[in-house]
Amino acid sequence: MLTDNILIRDGHAQSAAEYENLPDLETFLGSNRGERLRISNNIDLGQVAMRLNSVKVISVDFPNFADGRGFSIARELRKKHGYQGLLIADGPLIPDQYVYALQCGFDAVKLDETTYGRQSESDWFDAMDRFRLTYQRGYAMRNGPEMSVFDARGTSLQPERENDPYFGLSAEMSIKRAIKEFGDTLVLASSMGADSAVLLHLAAQVNPHVKVIFLDTQKHFRETLHYRDMLVQDLGLTNLENITPKPSDVSEHDKNGNLFQNNPDLCCSIRKVDPLAEALRPYKARITGRKRYQTPERREMPIYETGGKMIKINPLAYWSAKDITAYMRKHDLPPHPMMSLGFLSIGCQPCTTRVSEGEDPRAGRWRNFDKTECGIHYIDGRWEKVERKKTFEAF
C-alpha cells in the first residue's frame, strides 16, 4: 500500500519517496553540482538557465489545482530552454488536468495521499488515454508547437476546498458519487445547448437511466429540438422528461409572444424559472453543466454547491473551453448545429444572437439588455451582489 506522497507517471501510481526533499533554488544555486531542483511557479528561469544541462530532475510547485502558472513554467522549460530531464508537477492536480500537464511537458504528477484518495487509479489511466488521443491527432506535445492552456479557465486561485466535499474529483467521479449519494432524488436538467453533449455523455456512461429534464420554453430554435432528439437516441438515454410553461401563465403574461422585447426577466420567469422550479421540486440535487470560465459570476463556483433549496453538482466547474472541445473530439460527439453559424451559447431564439470574434461566448445572450442569466441559477432572473452564502441561491 502506498503511503505519504504518490507519484503518477504514465498513469501508474508509485511511491514518491525518491523525489522528496529536493533542494530549493537557494540551495541549488549555492552548490557546485546540483542535479535536482524544486522551484516555485513564479520563478524567473533566467536564474537557472545556464545550469539546466546538468539538472536531471525539476519539481514545480502547484499551491493548488486551480493555479495554472506551473504549466507556463513547464512550457518555458521545454520550449525556450530545451530542458530534457524529468519534470514533476508537485501539488493537488486532478485527473482532468493530467493531460494538460503532459502536453505542457511534465512527465509526472506528485500528490499527497488525501488528494490521491479522491479518485481511483482508473481516472489517471483515462487521462493518459486522452493524452494519447491528442498525440494521435497531432496536437502539441513536449517538442511540438507552442500552445496555451488554462488561459480560459479563469478560476479563483484560492478554491474553498473545505466547503466543497467534491473538491478534486474528476467530472465522472463527481457524477458517480452524486448518483450513489442521491439516487432517485438526483436529476440532470439540460438545455441541449452548445456543449450539452459532454455532460449528457458523461452521465450516460455512468448510468443511462439517470433522470434528465429538458425545458421546452416554446421559444427554442428548431435545431435545438432536433439536437435533443438526436442526443437522446445516440447516447442511449432512457429517462428523459420534457416540460413546458404553464399555458395559463403564457396566456396571462405573453399572449402575443413578444414579452421578451420589453420584459425579458418576466419572460424567463414564466417560460424557464417557474416551470423548472416546479419540475425540480421532488428532487434533492441536480447536475448542471455550468463552468467557471463562462461568466465572472461563476468564477468561484464549487463542484458541490449549496445555498439554495437544492444541492447542485457542477462536474464541469473547472473545465476550460479546450477541455470541452477535446472531450467532444475524443468521443465523436455532434456539436449543436447552430454553432457553425456563430452561436456559441444557445438559448431561446429571440434572445440569442451570433457572437463576434473576440467576444465572450455568452455575449450573444440577451444582447443590449442588462441581463446575463435567465434566473434558473440566480435570483429573480439576474445576478445580485449579495453575501456569498446566498450567491448561488436559485429557488
Any domain includes 321: yes
Is 37 in the same domain as 138? Answer: yes
Is 214 in the same domain as 343? Answer: yes
Dig out the grid coordinates for 245 from the structure. 410553461
237: CATH: 3.40.50.620
Any domain includes 165: no
Catalytic residue at 374?
yes
Which long-range contacts does 25-33 make (Cβ < 8 Å, 24+ apart)?
none
Instruction: Judge if pTM exceeds 0.85.
Output: no
Closest CA to 162 of 302, 17, 342: 302
Q: What is the pLDDT of residue 101?
A: 79
Q: What is the pLDDT of residue 233?
A: 93
Q: What is the per-residue burial (b if ≥16 Cβ within 10 Å, else e) of 7-34?
A: bbbebeeeebeebeebeebeebeeeeeb
- Taking CA 57 as the corner, what is the angle to CA 52 and CA 59, rounded to the nearest 5 degrees? 105
- Helix (H/G/I), strand (E/B), else coil: 10: coil
Q: Domain residues for 372?
A: 171-390
27: CATH: 3.40.50
Is 135 in the same domain as 194? Answer: no
Q: How many domains does the chain have?
A: 2
- Taking CA 259 as the corner, what is the angle to CA 337 and CA 251, rounded to the nearest 5 degrees? 105
Alpha-carbon gap, residue 310 to 368, rounded angstroms? 31
Is 370 in the same domain as 230? Answer: yes
Is 183 in the same domain as 253? Answer: yes
Any domain includes 164: no
Catalytic choice (104, 348, 351, 374): 374
Q: What is the crossing angle of helices 171-182 and 196-206, to 10°?
A: 60
Alpha-carbon gap, residue 135 to 122, rounded angstroms? 20
Q: In one letter, which amino acid is 313?
A: I
**CA 247: distance to chain centroid?**
36
Domain stop point among 151, 179, 207: 151
Is 176 in the same domain as 232? Answer: yes
- Helix (H/G/I), strand (E/B), else coil: 15: strand
CB atoms under 10 Å from CB of 390, counted, come to 11
Closest CA to 167 of 85, 231, 158, 127: 158
Q: 3-state DSSP helix/strand/coil percent for the chain, to nearest 5?
A: 40, 15, 45
Any domain includes 328: yes
Is 245 in the same domain as 135? Answer: no
Contact yes or no for 161/167 (Cβ under 8 A): yes
Any domain includes 34: yes
Q: Which residues contact 352 (CB under 8 A, 6 or more apart)?
A: 221, 343, 345, 346, 364, 365
Q: In one letter, which amino acid is 123?
A: D
Is 187 in the same domain as 305? Answer: yes
Alpha-carbon gap, residue 150 to 138, rounded angstroms? 19
Any domain includes 192: yes
Is 374 in the same domain as 316? Answer: yes
Is 214 in the same domain as 310? Answer: yes
Is 177 in the same domain as 140? Answer: no
Is 222 in the same domain as 93? Answer: no
What are the pLDDT tens digits along the chain (395 aa)? 344 788 888 767 888 888 888 988 888 888 877 889 999 888 888 888 888 888 999 999 988 766 667 888 888 898 888 898 999 999 888 777 776 777 778 888 888 887 777 776 677 766 665 554 443 332 333 333 333 332 223 333 344 445 788 887 888 889 999 999 999 999 999 888 777 899 999 999 999 999 999 988 888 888 888 889 999 999 999 999 999 988 998 888 888 877 777 777 788 888 888 888 899 999 999 999 888 877 677 778 889 999 878 899 999 988 877 788 888 888 888 888 877 666 667 777 677 766 656 555 555 555 555 554 444 443 333 333 333 333 333 33
Which long-range contacts does 269-272 make (Cβ < 8 Å, 24+ apart)?
269/375, 269/381, 270/245, 270/246, 271/217, 271/218, 271/219, 271/245, 271/348, 272/215, 272/217, 272/374, 272/375, 272/376
Any domain includes 259: yes
DSSP state of 42: T
Any domain includes 166: no
Q: What is the pLDDT of residue 65?
A: 60
CB atoms under 10 Å from CB of 174, counted, come to 25
Give the end-to-end CA distance of the chain in Å, rounded to a whole number.
46
Q: In one letter, which amino acid is 180?
A: K
User: Which single residue is written with the C-alpha cell 498525440?
Assistant: 135
Q: Which residues contact 68 (CB under 8 A, 6 or more apart)?
A: 149, 150, 153
